[in-house]
Structure 1
Amino acid sequence: MVIDIAVFPVSDVEWQRSVRIIRSVFPSIDLFEDIADPADWPLIISAEQKTNPRLMETIGNLDLVPEKRRAAGPGASYLMAPFTHVSTDRPSRFSDGTFGVLYAGNSFEVALFETILHHGRFMARTNEPAGWTSQFREIILKVSVRLHDLRGGNPHAQEALSPNDYSASQALATTLRVEGSDGIVYPSLRFDGGECVGLFYPDCAADTIQARHLDYHWNGTTVDLYRDASTGQVYRIV
């Protein structure tokens, strides 16, 4: 398949409070949080592995992120982890699993509806019983970057915006990434009027802040409720 990337405009995306929701089971990674200079990471990893052979299970594959595109300091785990922990067993809309993509929405509602869809699919596939399930974290982050734009009803973008078939979107993202793109901005397919980004490198976002802890309720068919763990307040998803 030959993809002409010239048919996709590039737009400045400036979101001061974009939102990403992740599973709480993933802990912060001390190397990314505490060591300010990514240039020092390889030596530190080499030394640490002598006493902690399981270190790389936590860090992931650092070689997947070019040194100049790495993020470090407080909150960096939330930026680095999507790129160092990848697998072809976990493809996504804009990746076949051989490289990482950081997804975020332009509002909490967008991030919520994007994640409950995928969580619901997992619960259905594994035939999970009804009840309160996995804990999640709301991550607030700033996005300030030029991205290839699939918004605005561009007819060339329609295949890449298929609700369930990711073959065209993965092929497009692979081509764009090879050609030097920083990522894609696109309309949310799960929350009407919302927008999402798929970022190809950690340094495309910054100023990450952990916000609320959330619980999702699975009713046996769909995710119908979420709970703010800090207040205990339960909200119905409609």
Structure 2
Amino acid sequence: MRIIRSVYPPIDLFEDIADPADWPLLLSAEQKTNPRIRASIGNLDRVPPERRVGGNGASYLMASFTHVSVDRPSRFSDGSYGVLYVADRYETGLFETIHHHARFMARTAEAPGWTSQFREIILTVCADLHDLRGQGDLFAACLDPDDYTAAQLLGAALRNAGSDGIAYPSVRQAGGECVGLLYPDCASSPVQGRHLDYHWDGKRVDLVRDAGSGAVFRVVEE
């Protein structure tokens, strides 16, 4: 599963039943009446045609690859290509996103409060992954909590070699596991789960609220 910001809406082109091979023609036609459509879709050329996915929920798989920027690097990418990060369980996904959200909130000096809404996406992963789990210190540099240099070099090398992605132990929750998928067709059947609210106390995300039930949970750092 993964947790994403609710501010990102589904993208009509990806959700359409049209064959992904026809997307460039459809996009060209759409732009004639809606010049802002490319901003919504992102850069489709970043995904090889044979690895694109469409249909219900496809936005949750494609957007990570078409909306990329070197201003938003991640563990296994310098931002020049996309990676779809997925956790093996809800709690792991929660701690992964809380960490990154807290860094953003601190960097922008946001005021305390219920600041952001997120949604849980449940999906299936089927891919041939390079496994960093149980390797001792061999890949320790790639799992550094703050320095992504080694991990990005590994991610780029594996992507250039045609790898589907990487399985690795979560850096934000002991015992959790994650995967970084290098192509959208490595996952399938995405469906929306819980809606969540994160509370920022000025220093950290201290509370998470299940928007559906109204239940509030305190975040206890390990």
Equivalent residue number for residue 68 of structure 1:
50
In the TM superposition, what is the alpha-carbon distance from 1:34 to its structure 2 partner? 1.2
Equivalent residue number for residue 79 of structure 1:
61
Give TM-score, length-normalised by structure 2.
0.98
2:114 pairs with 1:140: no
- From 41, 44, 49, the equivalent of 1:59 is 41
Structure 2 CA distance for aligned equivalents of residues 36 and 164 of structure 1: 41
2:62 pairs with 1:96: no
Higher relative contact order (CA 8 A, sep 6+): 1
- From 148, 152, 168, the equivalent of 1:186 is 168
Kept in 2, the 8 Å contact 1:124–1:221? The answer is: yes
Structure 2 CA distance for aligned equivalents of residues 231 and 144 of structure 1: 32
Give TM-score, length-normalised by structure 1.
0.91
In the TM superposition, what is the alpha-carbon distance from 1:154 to its structure 2 partner? 3.8
Amino acid at match of 1:210: Q
SS in 1 for 2:214: coil
Kept in 2, the 8 Å contact 1:213–1:229? The answer is: yes
Structure 1 CA distance for aligned equivalents of residues 22 and 52 of structure 2: 12
In the TM superposition, what is the alpha-carbon distance from 1:230 to its structure 2 partner? 1.0
Amino acid at match of 1:62: L
Equivalent residue number for residue 162 of structure 1:
144
Query: Structure 1: which 4+ aligned runs deviate by more than 4 Å?
Result: none
Over residues 4-37 of structure 1, what are the superposed CA-to-partner deviations in whole Å (9 max), with x where a residue is unaligned?
Answer: xxxxxxxxxxxxxxx1000000000010001331
Indicate the structure with greater strand content.
Answer: 1
Over residues 203-234 of structure 1, what are the superposed CA-to-partner deviations in whole Å (9 max), with x where a residue is unaligned?
Answer: 00001000111000001111011001111111
Structure 2 CA distance for aligned equivalents of residues 101 and 30 of structure 1: 21
Structure 1 CA distance for aligned equivalents of residues 83 and 41 of structure 2: 16
Percent of residue pairs identical: 67
Over residues 24-60 of structure 1, what are the superposed CA-to-partner deviations in whole Å (9 max), with x where a residue is unaligned?
Answer: 0000001000133101111111111001000000000
Structure 2 unaligned segments of length 5 or more: list them: none
Equivalent residue number for residue 111 of structure 2:
129
Alpha carbon RMSD of aligned pairs, Å? 0.7
Equivalent residue number for residue 193 of structure 2:
211
Q: How many residues align?
A: 220
Structure 2 CA distance for aligned equivalents of residues 175 and 136 of structure 1: 32
Amino acid at match of 1:214: L
Equivalent residue number for residue 211 of structure 2:
229
